[in-house]
Each structure stands twice: as C-alpha cells, then as structure tokens.
Structure 1
Amino acid sequence: MPNIEKLALPVPLSLRNEKNSFRFAFSQWKSLKTLIMAYNEFTWFSFEIRIVGESCSNLSNLKLMGNLGNDDAENIVHYLQSLTRLSLRCSFINVEGVLLLIRGLRNLAILNLTHCLILGWYLMINDVVQAATQNLDKLITCSEDDCQVCENRPSGEHNFYGKNWRNNEIKELEF
C-alpha cells in the first residue's frame, strides 16, 4: 500500500522492536500526510522519528500518545519540520519539550495538549502561552479543574489511553 495518506497505529509494539521492519514500511509511504501513533500502556516513546522524517516528506499531521521525552521533542523538531498540526493528546511530556516544539517547528500552526500530564506546566504556563501566541495559530489545552476527561482519568490504569486514542480536537487527527 504505497499510496496511503493516513495511517493509525494504535499499539505499534511489534514495529517498535523491529527497526528494519519499521524502516522498510515507512520507506514505502512517501505520500503519508497523517500519522497517528498511540500506546495503551505507559512505555517510553521510542519509535524512530528520524526514519519517519526522512521517508515521509509530505507528513503534515502527527498525533502521538504516550511518553514524550525531551530527546523525542528534539528529534521531532529536527526531522519533522513540515508539521502543521501536532497532537500530544493524553501524553506525558515536560514543559521544556512543549516549548521546544512550539519554538522549533516553524510550520506548526496547531498544537493540541488536551488531557496531557505536563511536568512543570504551572510553573512555566506564561512562557508557553507567550511562545504559542508568537508562533502558533492555535494552542488547544484543557483545564484539569474543569475537564471531565482529566477528572475521570484513573490513576495507574492504562485502559484510559486505549479508550481515548481515537478522539482528537484537531479534525485531521481523529480516527
């Protein structure tokens, strides 16, 4: 299927451990515009962003659910400059990674951070808002005080992510 434009991998555990398979598969998808990758367990986000970036030059929409470290954010900035829409809905990330994405992705217009657990968020919310105002058309967030999804997030249960990976506030990233 070399001409697919939208791909959702809700639990890419087999690809995550098979670099050659991952590399071959993504090298075939030159027309890919939208990629959705979600985990229904708490694992470190570890797929090869470089391979996706080098293989899928038309990729403009990306949704990731899982743990996103600063190294992952740096790789996204380095290899995925064509992104216009990025959703980290229901992910774990720190505020430095968020700022790196906002400031580093020159084409990014919309960033979705709904239902995320962001370390340092309340300490640096003003920095994030200022960076988003200068660089983005739209920053989508929720307030954990008012958000029913965040209020109903079970602590320690991984099924929450399995149930919510299909939804998104960015239309192009719904599945």
Structure 2
Amino acid sequence: MAISCGSVNCMIFHYNLYMKDEHLHFISERSPHLKRLVMPAWNRITKLGICQAIQRWQELESLTMPTIGHPPYIMEEIARSCKNFTELKIMGSFDLLFASAISQYLPKLKVLSLRCSKVTMGALLCLLTSMEYLEILNISHCLLLDITANGKRQVIHDLDDQTLEKASRLREFHYCQSRSCTACQRMMVDEGIMRWYRYEDWFWRQDEVRSLDLQDYGKLFDAGCERLTSVD
C-alpha cells in the first residue's frame, strides 16, 4: 500500500479472507482513489468499520459484497459518500428488504448482479418495477423463491411472461434456471447458499456481466503455488 502512494483504484479480496475493522481502516486510509472493491466476506467487520471505509472511498463506483442482515445502512452510506456509484454485486441471499434499500438509496444504479444467490420473487419484481435506470441485471443460477397462498416457499424454475416482459426493457438480462446447468445444480444442492469452498477456485470469480467477471484476479495462489500446495 505504501508503494502505491494512494493510487490503488481496484482491490479484490478472496472469499476466504476475513478482514477485521483494523485491516479495513489501514487499507481505506491508504487507498482514497479506490473505484472498485470486491470483498465477498465481511462478517468480522462492524457496521461502523465498513461505513468509515466507505466514507473515505468517495470515488467508489463498483462493489461486490456479501449478504448482510440490515442492508439499508450500507446503501445509505454509499448514496451519501459515493456519487459515482453505478455497479453492485451481491453474493448470498437477496430479499425484499435488500431490494427496497437499493431502490430507495441507489435509484440510479445501472448494473446489478445477484449471480448464484437465493432471491425472492418479491425482491426481483421490486427491482424490475422501481429501478428506472437499471440497465443490466444478472440472476443467472439463482434459487428463485416465491410464497404460496398457504405461506410455504416454493422454488420457481421458470419466470412468467409478465416478469419477462418487465425485464425486456433492460439492455442486458442474464437468466439461467436450467436443470442441466452445473451452477444451477450446485445452487439446488447447497439449498440457495453457495458453499464456494466446495468448488473450483475460479468458480466464485465468474460473472455473466463482463465488467464484474474477475477472470484470474482474486486468486489466492498462482498456478505454480497451487501445484506445490495441492494434496494428492
């Protein structure tokens, strides 16, 4: 961080790196021009810790984050501090509370990926009806859930015509619910909460949205190290 002289504009953390407030404080103080942050795990970071970091990252445009219990506070902080923010990826689960928070605080969001997440139909419809500026939405390999008349949850395997019509206004709408798709099968086996550690290290870095796909970035080891540390 010292060598960069504060010029770092993109940081990608592996989902197995669990940072704490002090780590985030150290990093955010030394990267004031950060534009993209990929941090799939922050369950050891407090509300105050992440909000203080966001306040320092006023140039932030893109964030990949995990599911959190109360999303409105982070959406509000992004709206207040990051005026150029346009791109968000959620890894985990996505409900109506999360969708409403995005709609309320980030109404001009352009790109949203929920790839391999557990998503309620209420949340999806909220996005499609209220996010006027949304251009790209990715719900590929998501476990889509709806509430039946008797209050039970049911898995939705095919979107109805009304939902597809709402999605047709988007410039890009990525959707896959194929029983023959490996990623969709994994979502079903994992009951909607992807156990990334079970699968290839490249799997969590993929995204159908080109600007969010990490390719080889975010690897813990290069190919040589992986060979040295592999267990036969």
| Paired position in structure 2 for 1:33 | 61
Aligned pairs (5 A) from 1:1-175 = 1-15=31-45, 18-38=46-66, 45-47=69-71, 48-120=74-146, 121-122=156-157, 125-133=160-168, 135-153=169-187, 154-155=189-190, 158-160=194-196, 163=201, 164-175=203-214
Taking structure 1 as the reference length, what is the TM-score of the superposition?
A: 0.85
* Equivalent-residue separation in structure 2 for 1:111 and 1:167 (angstroms): 15
Stretches of structure 2 that go unaligned for 5 or more consecutive residues are 1-30, 147-155, 215-232
Q: Deviations over 1:31-87 (max 9, x none)?
A: 111111136xxxx55342222222222111111011112111000011112211100
Shift of 1:118: 0.9
Task: Provide the aligned C-alpha RMSD in A.
Answer: 2.2
CA contact (8 A) 2:157 2:177 kept: no
Identity %: 28
Shift of 1:161: 7.1
State the AA in 2 paired with 1:73: A
* Equivalent-residue separation in structure 1 for 2:195 and 2:62 (angstroms): 24
From the superposition, tell whether residues 158 and 148 of structure 1 become closer, same or farther in structure 2 (CA, over 3 Å): closer
Residue correspondences, number: 168
State the AA in 1 paired with 2:165: Q
From the superposition, tell whether residues 51 and 165 of structure 1 become closer, same or farther in structure 2 (CA, over 3 Å): farther
Shift of 1:12: 1.2
CA contact (8 A) 1:4 1:31 kept: yes
* Equivalent-residue separation in structure 1 for 2:197 and 2:170 (angstroms): 26
* Equivalent-residue separation in structure 2 for 1:25 and 1:110 (angstroms): 27
Query: Rg larger in 1 or in 2?
Result: 2
Stretches of structure 1 that go unaligned for 5 or more consecutive residues are none
Structure scoring higher RCO (CA < 8 A, sep ≥ 6) equals 1
Taking structure 2 as the reference length, what is the TM-score of the superposition?
A: 0.66
From the superposition, tell whether residues 45 and 130 of structure 1 become closer, same or farther in structure 2 (CA, over 3 Å): farther
CA contact (8 A) 2:121 2:144 kept: yes
